[in-house]
A and B are shown apart, each in its own frame.
Chain A
């Protein structure tokens, strides 16, 4: 059973192609990270899933139905898109109450979700005075109102302090462990590496990778062999591939560690170190999204 199915999803804003021919599935019981550089189209995709923006072409379904077809949708799917998008003049309680009432959710549940996110004490305070972290918690409380099977979070830890980040991460893992579908976006791999089970990576609106976190590194070619030797200058020209001097050792790409060892033995050269270094998730991500970064920093 799939929770969210996007099929050839495309969105254009005038001349800007925000999302292009995106096809993917999000499954229950795990955290699916939705990764991509700034401007990759993550928020746009999420807005289309939630029926806020209309796809230019293609479609996206929630358990086989479009968002607009859901009756009392908060009971099925909860979302946090932009925690600041609330009326600051309302109290946290009234904000949640209005949402709850529209979907036939009891006032008791409002008290419950406030408790879940730890905002009980400030329930009667106006949202305008909330800190970023409190706002984020309120947004998560709103998403949890209908006790939904599917949760969508757009950059939920943006601007949070380490404690807040840890809380959100733990919370998302718990939701997935309960069998729910958790779809969460980020532009940072370091963040997703610790939260997600599965990764969907997009760049410039197009799908780049759709893989388990464990498989993800394999998609990248960026491993290298670290070679230490007192005779580096003699060894370097003999190696195939590309060798770059890093401090007192070489980083060699394009050949395996075994090949390096055999080359050294044939030439009678001494090796002090010979290690294959796996790329980090971060490095794999950087490599995969290279060339699809919307606004690249230009070196001065």
Chain B
């Protein structure tokens, strides 16, 4: 992949409004939950006894924000299929897999910057609200930086999941529904699976694994934070490889 492709993909990404709006929606979701949940807890009786922690409270927007950033990931490529402009793109860059890689790199950089900033903002806003409740914390406390940075990583990975699904499915609604299924629905439903087998599926299923990096108090019985992120990225890589192979083979 050349820097030419990266520059072109950056121009494409920044020159449509939906990019701006979905990025803003992601940041606003993080920030809104990061203020509202701490506010609710601060106003409850005896917040210090709630068993909650200030870091995770300020990052509760993750669940929803993962979906908005995934939608942006989907649109980055499905938008080109919808309009038919994908053909013009392939005329300019016949190495289709190169183009997909270029999109992924540009998306990753933009998303990392925005989601990491949003995560830190939410964290600080949350701590301001929690001030005096005994739940407030600082970046210096153990695991906090990993969690806040992890929120940006988890969100960006979710966006990439959307992007590879968009490349695979090529159809906006289909890809968005798949992203919601993979990020939200299936991981939750997996809680109902019985036995040892069910537990394994639950542990390794997409966001159950991926979200660990963005939780200060990781969920018991689940993967370690970095291992969890690794598994999430593996999902994305596998879908991405299938998408790349099909991209290469299919008629545009």
Which residues in A have some Cβ–Cβ distance to B below 8 Å?
A: 47, 50-54, 67-68, 70, 72-74, 79, 81-82, 84-91, 94-95, 97-99, 101-104, 142
Q: Does B45 contact A (CB under 8 A)?
A: no
Within 8 A of A (CB), among B1-32: 4-5, 7-9, 11-12, 15-18
Please give, as numbers and ranges, the residues of chain A lying within 8 Å of B93 by CB-CB distance. 102
B87 part of interface (Cβ distance < 8 Å):
yes
Q: With a CB–CB cut-off of 8 A, which chain A residues contact B15? A: 89-91, 94-95, 97-98
Q: Is B242 an interface residue (CB 8 A)?
A: no
Q: Is the CB of A101 within 8 A of B84?
A: no
Residues of B contacting A103 with CB < 8 Å?
4, 92
Tell which of A79, A81, A87, A95 has the most Cβ of chain B within 10 Å.
A87
Whether B5 contacts A82 by the Cβ 8 Å rule is: no
With A52-B252, A67-B94, A99-B8 given, is the CB distance from A142 to B88 under 8 Å?
Answer: yes
Docked Cα-Cα span, A102 to B88, in Å, equals 11
In contact, A98 and B87 (Cβ under 8 angstroms): no
CA distance A50 to B94 in the complex (A): 9
Task: Determine the distance from Cα of A90 to Cα of B249 in the docked complex, in whole angstroms.
Answer: 29
Q: B156 → chain A, closest Cβ, in Å? A: 23
State whether B252 touches A90 (Cβ < 8 A): no
**Contact yes or no, B90 A51, CB < 8 A:** yes
A51 & B92 in contact (Cβ 8 Å cutoff) = no
**Residue ID in chain A nearest B79 by CB atoms:** A87
Task: Name A52's closest neighbour in chain B (CB-CB).
Answer: B252
Say yes or no for B174: interface residue by CB 8 A criterion: no
A101:B95 contact, CB within 8 angstroms: no
A51 to B94, CA, bound (A): 7
Does the CB pair A86–B83 fall under 8 Å? Answer: yes
Partner of A53, one of B7, B12, B91, B251: B251
Contacts of B89 in A (CB 8 A): 102
B80 interface hit (Cβ, 8 Å) = yes
11 sampled A-B residue pairs with Cβ under 8 A: A70-B94, A72-B4, A74-B92, A87-B83, A87-B85, A89-B16, A90-B16, A91-B15, A102-B4, A102-B5, A103-B4
Alpha-carbon distance A295/B67, docked complex (angstroms):
46
Cα–Cα distance between A86 and B9 once the two chains are bound (Å): 15
Given the known inter-chain contacts A52-B91, A73-B92, please indicate yes or no for A98 contacting B11, CB distance below 8 A. yes
A52-B87, A102-B89 known; 4 new pairs, CB 8 Å cut-off, are A47-B252, A85-B85, A85-B87, A87-B80
Which chain B positions have C-beta within 8 A of A86? Answer: 83-85, 88
Q: Which residues of B contact A97 (CB under 8 A)?
A: 11, 15
Nearest-neighbor residue (CB-CB) of A79 within chain B = B91
> What is the bound-complex CA distance between A91 and B14, given in angstroms?
11
Contact assessment for B90 and A52 in the assembled complex, using a CB-CB cutoff below 8 Å: yes
CB–CB B5/A73 < 8 A: no
Residue from B8, B9, B92 with most neighbouring chain A CB atoms (10 Å): B92
Cβ of B8 and Cβ of A84 under 8 Å apart? no
Task: Tell me how far the C-beta of A123 lies from the nearest C-beta in chain B, rounded to whole angstroms.
Answer: 13
Contact call B11/A73, Cβ cutoff below 8 A: no
From A88, A89, A102, residue with most partner B Cβ within 10 Å: A102
